[in-house]
Chains A and B, each alone.
Chain A
């Protein structure tokens, strides 16, 4: 059933995970007392013996997941992204990635979603951290359908994955039947003057910005870069050959999606870029939506950045 109403990607995540677990007994869920916030209640009800709650202990969360994988399980390891990645980064590096364990790390409520709770709970470094680690696949789904596709693709591949799942409701941005493939960026809008590259909750805002730019007479393409690593070099190079690039991320601009795109652009086809995101600061107090406004991570903010870039003011 297709709907245009915004929805929380955690619902699609949980539904996809339960469906996969029905078919594959190797799949287990591991959580750090986050069964509610990771939306694992249905999984727990259906598979009580396949959900491991290690309590509030993220280092153990990730180490236990490596051990489960070492004995043939496929753990989907869930926790608030700020704690999962920040608290357990050495375990992610050594126990999961370097050890090449088949663990799917699911960073929930990522980015600025926790708003008023403050910078301790914002997860705006997780992409930089995880994509720096060799062997990691890093995926940021943009809508519920892509979330479900990413869960299935992560389960189907043998190797460590970081899945970044938002709690902010997002409208569908993909047409039904448009299948998610790891490592393939999806062009959601064609355009000749500028390309907006985004991921996660920023994709719907990028599409809105493209509509506004059309009213300005600017033809903007929108690329959904849902796989940050391995990155789709060809799609980015192709965009660069057509014109300048604006990147938009719910993340610090140091080391995340914008940096990843820039690494390709400078080696494949240098063009001018604008990197929108959190500019290397801890966010002030405010709701998530307030913070998006504050940092210009809005359709209007994207429009202004793209227009300046096209007019040579970038």
Chain B
């Protein structure tokens, strides 16, 4: 326990820096959606802490060499959270503030859903749900054929797990023993129209992944320290892929957006944007 407290204490500046990065990702996402009059702010905000930790500390990627064959791969399977991804890429130096200002504008590189051929740091053209995980399984298989040590990370939504293609990939990843593959489930409990459990229930979700042969851990998806410790500690077991079920709140960080299904793709008004940025302490950013 003493050791853990010491480690946590030593980590405190890093946790604070990543928390600040997550706030900036939230603020930038809301600004982008507000300016474009389109987007998915609820899912952007629920994923912000996960993206901040991945791009701020976990992923071994190089903005000067975004296609380095030995890089880690990150695939945003919930491609509708593109604003948060672009904001995270801006924080990591792959995009500029001026780039973010073009979000969904005519001929922008920043489509409503990400395009790997237009945006450095984007690994997959996601948007239709249930595509990211199969692609990640293929990438991880290629890495294993090469005996490489780079990792593949995927962020899925939770409602997205209703797509059967995910379970084809989940079965295959366990069968192939892809230990360098980690899936993070943004378990915010809401899908476009309603709660997942009132739509088509996913629970017991951890037991499902375990039954399919994965190592599973459940974390608070807004606890930067816990995310950091978990995502730097994968694989949890040798020979198995890892599933991190990140319990999150859709719309996290803005009181009037939190936990409301209608904010899946609602656009903030001028006053709502200002209020949201005040809550985030990011009015001036």
Contacts and interface: CB of A to CB of B under 8 A. Distances in A.
Interface of A: 28, 49-50, 52, 54-55, 57, 59-60, 62-73, 75, 90-91, 94-95, 98-100
Interface of B: 69, 73, 115-117, 123-128, 130-131, 133-143, 145-146, 164-165, 168-169, 171-172, 175
Given A68-B141, A71-B139, A99-B125, A59 B134 contact: yes
B138 A63 contact: yes
A91 B134 contact: yes
A97 to B, nearest CB: 10
A60 B132 CA distance: 10
Nearest to A88: B165
Contacts of B165: 59-60, 63, 91
A62 B124 CA distance: 13
A71 B134 contact: no
B212 to A, nearest CB: 13
A53 B224 CA distance: 38
Contacts of A95: 124-125, 131, 134-135
24 contacts: A54-B168, A54-B172, A55-B172, A55-B175, A57-B172, A59-B164, A60-B172, A63-B131, A63-B134, A63-B138, A64-B138, A64-B172, A66-B124, A66-B135, A67-B142, A69-B138, A70-B139, A70-B142, A71-B69, A71-B138, A91-B134, A94-B127, A95-B125, A99-B125
Given A55-B172, A57-B168, A94-B131, A73 B145 contact: yes
A98 B131 contact: no
A64 B73 contact: no
A69 B131 CA distance: 15
A100 B136 contact: no
B128 to A, nearest CB: 5
A251 B275 CA distance: 59
Most buried by A among B123, B138, B145, B175: B138
Contacts of B145: 28, 49-50, 73
A98 B124 CA distance: 10
A208 to B, nearest CB: 44
B152 to A, nearest CB: 8
Chain B at the A interface: mostly helix, strand, loop or mixed?
helix
Contacts of B146: 71
Contacts of A59: 130, 134, 164-165, 168
A66 B138 contact: yes
B125 A67 contact: no
Contacts of A98: 115, 125
A55 B142 CA distance: 18
A69 B141 CA distance: 11
Contacts of B133: 63
B141 A67 contact: yes
B125 A63 contact: no
Nearest to B79: A94
Contacts of B124: 66, 70, 95, 99
A71 B175 CA distance: 20
A147 B53 CA distance: 50
A108 to B, nearest CB: 20
B136 A67 contact: yes
B110 to A, nearest CB: 16
Nearest to A100: B117
A52 B146 CA distance: 14
A65 B138 CA distance: 6
A227 B93 CA distance: 44
Contact of B137 (A64, A73, A75, A100): A64
B134 A67 contact: yes
